[in-house]
Amino acid sequence: MVQLIEQLLLAVGEDYRVEGGVAIHRSAVVEPGAVIKAPAIIGASCFIGAHAYIRGGVFLSHSVKIGTGCEIKSSIVCSGSAIAHFNFIGDSIIGSNVNFEAGSITANHYNERTDKSISVVNNGNLVATGCTKFGALVGDGSRVGANAVLSPGTLLPIGSIVKRLELIDQQAPFSA
C-alpha cells in the first residue's frame, strides 16, 4: 500500500498542500492533535477528528470522515465513508458510503495463532493471500455496528450489515 500511495502522491493537483510525503486537500479539515504520517493523501472535504492517528500508506477519498481517536493504517477509504470515533482500520480497503460505528475494528493480524498466514473465503473456498497482515475488504454501503470486529481476511459484500458487538470470522469453519 505504501508504494501505491507514494505513486499517487506524484499526481496530486494544486488543490493539495504537500509536505513530507503527506498531501492534504485545501478543503479538508484536520482537528488539533491528529497525527498524519507519510505517505498519505487526504482528499477534498475530508474531516479528521482530534487525536486521530493516520499511519503511513493511507488514502482517504473525498468526503471521508475519520472520528476522534481513530487509527487508520495502510488502508484505502473510499468516498463518503465514515469511521466513527475510537476505531481501528488496518491493511484494508473500505468502499464508498460505508459507516463504522464507534469502537469497531478491522483486525489485521492473528495474534492467537502460530501460523499467522491470512486467507480469505471467496465463493466458499479458502484462498491464501500470502500475507500476515490483512484486514478487510468492505463493500460499498455496508454498515458495521459499534464494537464489532472484522477478523483478518474478512470480505463483506456490498450493502452488508454487521450488528453491534458482532464478530465476523469467515475463516472459523475452515480453521484447524
**Residues recognised as catalytic:** 85
Which uninterrupted H or E stretch holds 2?
helix 2-9
Sorted by sequence, the CB contacts under 8 Å of residue 19 that are 6+ apart come out as: none
The single-letter code of the amino acid at 26 is: R
φ, ψ of residue 143 in degrees (nearest 5): -130, 125
Which uninterrupted H or E stretch holds 79?
none
Q: Which residue has the cell 469453519?
A: 173
